[in-house]
Amino acid sequence: MKTQINLLEWVKKFDQGEFKNPSVEVQISAGWYDWFCRETSLARKTQNLGRKLKQIINSPKLNPKRQYVFFKNNCPLSGNLYDDFRICDIISGDVIFTITPSSGHKSAQGRGDVWGKENNFKEPLITGSWTEIKKWFNL
C-alpha cells in the first residue's frame, strides 16, 4: 500500500512544482485515483484542484498534519465529466470530506458540494459556488 503524505507535505510539493509534470506516474503520485478524462488533462486538473485545496488548507474543519488528499474525475450518467477531491484520515484511510468544486451533473447546474463524515454522507453539508464552499470551510 502506498504511504500517503499529509496535506501540509502535499502543498509543499505542489508549491515546489513537483506535480506539474504531465506523466501519469507523477499525476498518480499527486493523488489521482480514478479518471475518465484524457491522461494529458490530469496535470492541468491537479493545478486547478491544488489551488482550491490551498484555499481551504487552514480551515478549522481540517487537520492538515493528519489528513491526505486524493483526486477523482467522475462521469455522471446525465452531464459532463467533473472532478472532486477527497480529504481522508491518514491513519484509517476513512474519507472525511468529498469536495466537488463544480458538479457535472445536469441537475446541479454547475454548483459544487461537500459531503462529509459528520452526517455519514447522507446529504451535502453545503451546496453552492466554490466561493460559498470556501467560505464554509473557513468559518
Mean pLDDT (the chain, rounded):
95
Percent of the chain surpassing pLDDT 70: 98
> Residue 28: pLDDT above 60?
yes
* 36 alpha-carbon distance from chain centroid: 16
Per-residue 3-state assignment (H helix, E strand, C coil) for 62-113 = CCCCCEEEEEEEECCCCECCEEEEEEEECCCCCEEEEEECCCCEHHHCCCEE
103 near 88, Cβ under 8 Å?
no
Give the per-residue pLDDT at 135. 97
pTM: 0.94
100 near 84, Cβ under 8 Å?
yes
* 87 alpha-carbon distance from chain centroid: 7
pLDDT digits (tens, 9 = 90+) for 48-59: 999 999 999 999
Give the per-residue pLDDT at 125. 98
d(CA 62, CA 8): 11
pLDDT, average across residues 121-138 = 97
pLDDT bin (cut points 50, 70, 90) of residue 1 is very low
